[in-house]
């Protein structure tokens, strides 16, 4: 039955059987009288079922008390009435029996298995597969944490429990691409468990997170076995506070981790540099991301955030220093692109365009489809006066924003990008959307006199907006950017300048169909935008400007009658309006720069001069004179309107009036010119540029000769 090679086991079993055989047989059980093979088999079955029952009871007791199964099993066996044979055999060591493990060991094995699976899932090339594996791992980590927190808090259990908390928060933040208040509550529960585990240190009051960290780090300083897990959890707390802009709490936490006293340095980068997380033991539970890796991520993110903030506020030397420190860390491509772009912006503003260009080239080498460095490159080339390179950069920007960015597999679960805020329009890392980039390209082409290219880009932009790819025009690249009706107006102006008058009429008709119904039928009062009117006050301006552009399109087509008709409709709408400026509080920068009253006045001027020129083209100088006189009354300092009036007076041989006007122009030219504190919509600036007489200075010189030397004429 037993081989000769195992004498101890053989001796034990046969001694037991012989002792049983020497006893008198029980009644009704003759088969127990002799040690037969059947008897041995029955004993084996008894031992098997007893061990299974014992393991079940041990597991339940372990889950309830958190004690190792071996001790619980010994106590339960000692207190149970068993036959001598069963007791003896249960205590007999068998080489083939596996060693018994505690629940903590099993839970630790589960934690390590989940960590390995999560790290392995990142090697999968399928994004959906990665997300599903991460979701499954999160659920298992959550169940594991619930099991651990079902035990009474004990110092021996806390390293594993805190590690599971860290792994759960790390995976959750990576999966959802951000931190939430739920994760802060999990951190708080973990800290409360640390206090409960220490004798007499249970939470007496409802502490906040900052007070909890103070108590935990103070009381746990004599428990070295907890320090690695606590520093790991503190790194996650620091990441949460950094991402939510809680810089005061973050500074205090780092001071506590460094053992600093009151009055210590409040410099985040210095505190992070001096923080030294304890090394984990070789037999510690596995982690998805250790504390030292978190420290590097926190340091890089803090340096980049501080550099960007100082760059926005105009503290350029400080921004340069912080951004250069961010380059010292090991960064992945997206972070390097952001750091190099911000350095390029900083150096451009500091007047060092050549060094700025080197950083932008380095950023673009990391990938050809990065938007921020392309936008910054266009600004740099504009500053250098290189129009061709500027427009080429904007064209590449449009392509980059229309392309689908490939998702790189993250090497770390919590990365620098997770701790950075979303860039706003004031940030150098903001590059806008495809429609915004397309608008910037179109408007720059129009400003640089490339009307044909501008017209094509504007038509592409309108198609993008009207096809529903972007149902609502997003915020512009600058705070004073255009609204969607203004994009229509700029497109019409570009088409007129490109000699595509018929297309311009089509664009104007489309805009009128969308805005005319919003105009009141009776005369209205435009209230200033600062009082928060419910209806936009710009609708009358847009409709009036549409008629103005239609008139200019008819001028291009040589149909002066239709042109005069459209200019008259424009003036009728404009003179029905009375702007009432009810000052209530300070206006925003955008409202101060583009004031409705200034736009209304300049639009009236453009319509009057345009109609006057149409009368001149029709040979009706008398009617033209009326419009030019009225335009000069509306804007006495407008030089273009005065020159058109001067030419008309000369053609009508009204020399005295022409002389008086010329002397007034001469006096105005000698006065210092005041810089305007406001700007006009771009479409209106374009319309006003058409009113400038060609060779204006030559005309003025001819008038000088005509007026000062009358005897020679």
Say how many C-beta atoms besides its own lie within 10 A of residue 334's C-beta: 18
* CA-wise closest residue to 157 among 42, 47, 63, 221: 63
Could you tell me if 24 and 108 lie in one domain? Answer: no
Q: Which residues pair with 580 in a beta bridge?
A: 527
Instruction: Provide the CA 6 distance to its chain's centre, in angstroms.
Output: 71
Residues shown for the chain: 713
Q: Is residue 665 scored above 70 in pLDDT?
A: yes
Q: Is residue 442 scored above 60 in pLDDT?
A: yes
Highest mean pLDDT range out of 4-8, 31-35, 163-167, 421-425? 163-167
The DSSP 8-state label assigned to residue 565 in this structure reads H
Could you tell me if 73 and 206 lie in one domain? Answer: no
Question: Which one is predicted more confidently, 518 or 339?
Answer: 339
Residue 413's pLDDT is 84
Q: Is residue 427 part of a domain?
A: no
Q: Which residues pair with 527 in a beta bridge?
A: 580
Could you tell me if 157 and 257 lie in one domain? Answer: yes
Q: With bands split at pLDDT 50, 70 and 90, how would you rate the model's confidence at 532?
A: very low
Burial class of 154 by CB neighbour count within 10 A (0 to 12, 13 to 18, 19+): middle
Distance CA 494, CA 487 (A): 10
Give the mean pLDDT of 543-560: 96
Q: Is residue 13 part of a domain?
A: yes
Distance CA 348, CA 357 (A): 8
CA distances from 545 to 299, 463, 575, 612, 619 (A): 54, 21, 13, 17, 25
Q: Is residue 55 part of a domain?
A: yes
Q: Is residue 24 part of a domain?
A: yes
- The predicted-structure confidence for 84-117, as pLDDT tens digits, reads as follows 443 344 444 444 445 556 888 899 999 999 999 8
**Phi then psi for 545, rounded to 5 degrees?**
-65, -30
Question: Which one is predicted more confidently, 55 or 657?
Answer: 657
Q: Is residue 341 part of a domain?
A: no
Q: With bands split at pLDDT 50, 70 and 90, how would you rate the model's confidence at 325?
A: very high
Last residue of a domain, which of 91, 119, 135?
Answer: 91
* CA-wise closest residue to 174 among 368, 443, 410: 410
Q: Is residue 532 part of a domain?
A: no
Q: Is residue 58 scored above 90 in pLDDT?
A: no
Please give the sequence-ordered ranges of beta strands (E in DSSP) within 556-617, or none if there are none: 577-580
Among 178-187, 422-431, 579-588, 632-641, name the one with the lowest average pLDDT.
579-588
Could you tell me if 272 and 153 lie in one domain? Answer: yes
Highest mean pLDDT range out of 35-49, 291-305, 572-586, 648-662? 291-305
Could you tell me if 19 and 140 lie in one domain? Answer: no
Residue 50's pLDDT is 44
Question: Which one is predicted more confidently, 157 or 695?
Answer: 157
Residue 92's pLDDT is 42
Distance CA 444, CA 469 (A): 23
Could you tell me if 151 and 59 lie in one domain? Answer: no
Asked if 23 contacts 11 with a C-beta cutoff of 8 angstroms, the reply is no
Could you tell me if 123 and 216 lie in one domain? Answer: yes
Residue 69's pLDDT is 40
What domain range is 74 assigned to? 7-91
Could you tell me if 272 and 130 lie in one domain? Answer: yes
- The predicted-structure confidence for 565-621, as pLDDT tens digits, reads as follows 999 999 999 988 765 544 433 343 444 456 778 889 999 999 999 999 999 999 999
Label the pairing between strands 577-580 and 524-527.
parallel
Look over the chain and give the mean of its residue pLDDT values, rounded to a whole number.
Answer: 79
30 Cβ neighbours under 8 A, 6+ residues apart = none
Q: Is residue 412 part of a domain?
A: no
Residue 19's pLDDT is 42
Could you tell me if 124 and 242 lie in one domain? Answer: yes
Among 45-59, 97-111, 147-161, 268-282, name the one with the lowest average pLDDT.
45-59
Highest mean pLDDT range out of 14-28, 210-224, 296-310? 296-310
Give the mean pLDDT of 651-666: 86
Q: With bands split at pLDDT 50, 70 and 90, how would you rate the model's confidence at 358?
A: very high
The pair of structure tokens assigned to 188 is 């708080």
Q: Is residue 270 scored above 50 in pLDDT?
A: yes
- The predicted-structure confidence for 479-529, as pLDDT tens digits, reads as follows 556 888 899 999 999 999 999 999 999 999 999 988 776 665 545 544 444
Residue 480's pLDDT is 57
DSSP state string for 102-146: -HHHHHHHHHHHHHHHHHHHTT-S-HHHHHHHHHHHHHHHHHHHH
Residue 678's pLDDT is 66
Q: Is residue 542 part of a domain?
A: no
Last residue of a domain, which of 288, 314, 345?
Answer: 288
Last residue of a domain, which of 272, 288, 304?
Answer: 288
Could you tell me if 135 and 248 lie in one domain? Answer: yes
The pair of structure tokens assigned to 338 is 């952001």
Asked if 100 contacts 120 with a C-beta cutoff of 8 angstroms, the reply is no
Q: Is residue 350 scored above 50 in pLDDT?
A: yes
Give the mean pLDDT of 3-28: 40
Distance CA 310, CA 322 (A): 9
Distance CA 357, CA 340 (A): 10
Q: Is residue 233 scored above 80 in pLDDT?
A: yes
Burial class of 411 by CB neighbour count within 10 A (0 to 12, 13 to 18, 19+): exposed
Question: Which one is predicted more confidently, 524 or 69?
Answer: 524
**Structural domain count of the chain:** 2
447 Cβ neighbours under 8 A, 6+ residues apart = 682
403 Cβ neighbours under 8 A, 6+ residues apart = 369
Q: Is residue 314 scored above 90 in pLDDT?
A: yes
Could you tell me if 18 and 154 lie in one domain? Answer: no
Residue 131's pLDDT is 77
Distance CA 362, CA 631 (A): 54
Question: Which one is predicted more confidently, 36 or 331?
Answer: 331
Q: Which residues pair with 525 in a beta bridge?
A: 578
Could you tell me if 83 and 27 lie in one domain? Answer: yes
- The predicted-structure confidence for 361-417, as pLDDT tens digits, reads as follows 999 998 656 899 999 999 999 999 999 999 999 999 999 998 866 555 555 589 999
């Amino acid at each position: 039955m037993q081989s000769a090679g195992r004498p101890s086991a053989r001796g034990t079993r046969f001694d037991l059987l012989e002792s049983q055989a020497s006893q008198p047989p029980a009644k009704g059980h003759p088969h127990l009288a002799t040690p037969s093979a059947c008897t041995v088999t029955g004993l084996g079955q008894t031992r098997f079922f007893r061990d299974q029952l014992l393991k079940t009871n041990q597991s339940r007791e372990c889950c309830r008390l958190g004690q190792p199964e071996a001790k619980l099993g010994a106590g339960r066996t000692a207190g149970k009435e068993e036959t001598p044979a069963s007791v003896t055999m249960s205590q007999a060591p068998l080489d083939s029996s596996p060693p018994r493990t505690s629940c903590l060991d099993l839970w630790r094995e589960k934690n390590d298995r989940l960590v390995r699976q999560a790290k392995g899932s990142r090697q999968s090339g399928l994004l959906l597969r990665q997300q599903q594996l991460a979701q499954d791992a999160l659920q298992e980590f959550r169940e594991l944490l619930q099991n651990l927190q079902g035990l009474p808090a004990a110092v021996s259990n806390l390293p594993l429990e805190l590690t599971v908390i860290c792994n759960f928060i790390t995976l959750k933040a990576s999966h959802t691409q951000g931190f939430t208040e739920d994760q802060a509550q999990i951190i708080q529960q973990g800290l409360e468990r640390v206090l409960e585990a220490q004798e007499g240190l249970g939470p007496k009051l409802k502490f906040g997170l900052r007070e909890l960290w103070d108590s935990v780090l103070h009381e746990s300083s004599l428990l070295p076995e907890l320090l690695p897990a606590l520093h790991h959890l503190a790194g996650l707390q620091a990441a949460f506070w950094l991402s939510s802009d809680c810089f005061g709490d973050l500074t205090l936490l780092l001071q506590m981790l460094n053992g600093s006293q009151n009055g210590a340095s409040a410099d985040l980068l210095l505190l992070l540099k001096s923080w030294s997380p304890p090394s984990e033991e070789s037999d510690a539970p596995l982690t998805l991301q250790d504390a030292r890796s978190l420290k590097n991520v926190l340091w890089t993110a803090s340096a980049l955030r501080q550099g960007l903030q100082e760059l926005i506020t105009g503290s350029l030397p400080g921004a340069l220093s912080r951004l250069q420190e961010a380059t010292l860390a090991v960064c992945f491509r997206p972070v390097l692109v952001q750091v190099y772009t911000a350095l390029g912006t900083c150096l451009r503003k500091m007047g060092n365009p050549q060094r700025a260009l080197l950083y932008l080239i380095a950023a673009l080498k990391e990938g050809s489809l990065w938007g921020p460095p392309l936008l910054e490159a266009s600004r740099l080339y504009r500053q250098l006066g290189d129009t061709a390179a500027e427009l080429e950069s904007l064209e590449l920007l449009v392509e980059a924003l229309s392309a689908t960015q490939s998702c790189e597999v993250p090497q770390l679960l919590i990365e620098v990008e997770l701790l950075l805020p979303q860039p706003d329009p004031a940030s150098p890392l903001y590059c806008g959307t495809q429609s915004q980039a397309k608008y910037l390209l179109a408007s720059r082409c129009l400003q640089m006199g490339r009307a044909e290219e501008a017209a094509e880009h504007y038509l592409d932009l309108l198609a993008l907006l009207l096809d529903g790819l972007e149902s609502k025009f997003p915020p512009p690249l600058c705070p004073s950017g255009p609204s969607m009706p203004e994009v229509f107006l700029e497109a019409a102006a570009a088409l007129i300048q490109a000699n595509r008058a018929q297309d311009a009429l089509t664009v104007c008709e489309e805009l009128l169909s969308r805005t005319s119904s919003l105009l009141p039928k009776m005369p209205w009062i435009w209230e200033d935008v600062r009082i928060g009117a419910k209806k936009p006050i710009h609708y009358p301006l847009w409709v009036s400007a549409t008629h103005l552009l239609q008139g200019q399109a008819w001028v291009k087509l040589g149909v002066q009658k239709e042109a005069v008709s459209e200019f008259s409709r424009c003036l009728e709408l404009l003179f029905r309006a009375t702007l009432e400026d009810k000052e209530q509080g300070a206006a925003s920068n955008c409202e101060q720069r583009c004031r409705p009253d200034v736009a209304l006045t300049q639009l009236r001027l453009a319509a009057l001069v345009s109609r006057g020129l149409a009368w001149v083209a029709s040979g009706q100088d008398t009617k033209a004179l009326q419009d030019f006189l009225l335009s000069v009354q509306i804007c006495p300092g407008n030089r273009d309107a005065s020159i058109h009036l001067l030419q008309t007076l000369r053609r009508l041989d009204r020399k005295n009036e022409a002389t008086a006007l010329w002397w007034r122009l001469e006096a105005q030219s000698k006065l210092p010119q005041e810089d305007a504190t406001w700007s006009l919509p771009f479409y209106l600036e374009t319309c006003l540029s058409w009113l400038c007489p060609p060779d204006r200075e030559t005309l003025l010189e001819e008038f000088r000769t005509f007026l000062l030397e009358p005897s020679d004429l």
